[in-house]
Amino acid sequence: MIEAAILGRPVFSIETGEFGTTQRGTLHYRYLLPENGGFVRVAESLTEHVLQLSVLMRSGVQRDPTSRGFVERFVRPFGEGQAATPLVADAIEATARETERVAVKPPAGAGLVFLKGVLAARLMRQQRTRAELFSRATRVAADRARAEAARRSRPGTTAQANRAIRR
C-alpha cells in the first residue's frame, strides 16, 4: 500500500471482521486511513469494493492527490531529496553512543543483534561514500575527456596546426 502511495496510485481495501485484527487492530494501518491523513479508500463489503474499482476503471487511473501528502508526512518527512539510509545509520550510531554513555546492560543476546545493526549501518555508509567517490571520479574523468575533445576540435588547436603543417 505504501509503495502504491509513493507512486501516486490509488489504493483500496475491504474491511471485514475477518481481517479486523490485521487492519484496524494494528497501529500502522490507522495511519493509512483518510480520517488520519491517509490515502486508502475503504469498503465495508466486496460489493462496495467492486463498485469503487469500477468507478476508477471507467474514469481512468489518475494520480491520487491524497497519497502525496501522506508520502511527504510519513515516508519522506525530511523531503524526497533526503535518502533514508544515512538517517537510519546516524540514528543507530547515536543510539549506540548514548547506550555506551549511560552504560545500560542490554538483555542477553541483544548486544550482538545491536552490534550487527551498527556494523551494517557503518558498512552502508562506507559503501555509499565509495559509490559517491567513484561517481565523482567518473564525472571528473568524463568532464576532462569532453574538454580535451572540445580543445582538439577548436580551430587553431595543436592537432589542426600539425595537420596544416604536414600539408
Number of domains observed in the structure of the chain = 2
Q: Which strand (E) or helix (H) includes residue 14?
A: strand 11-14
Answer whether residue 125 is part of any domain: yes
Quote the pTM value.
Answer: 0.49
Are residue 145 and residue 108 in the same domain, yes or no?
Answer: yes
Flag whether 166 is in a domain: no
Point out the domain boundary residue: 25, 44, 75: 75
Q: What is the DSSP letter of 104?
A: -
CB 1 within 8 A of CB 71: no
96 in the same domain as 43 = no
Q: Does some domain include residue 162?
A: no
Residue 103 shares a structural domain with residue 48: no
pLDDT, tens only, 10-66: 899 888 777 777 777 777 888 888 888 888 999 988 899 999 999 988 888 778 888
Q: How many residues does the chain have?
A: 167
Same domain (yes/no): 93, 28: no
Structural domain of 132: 84-153
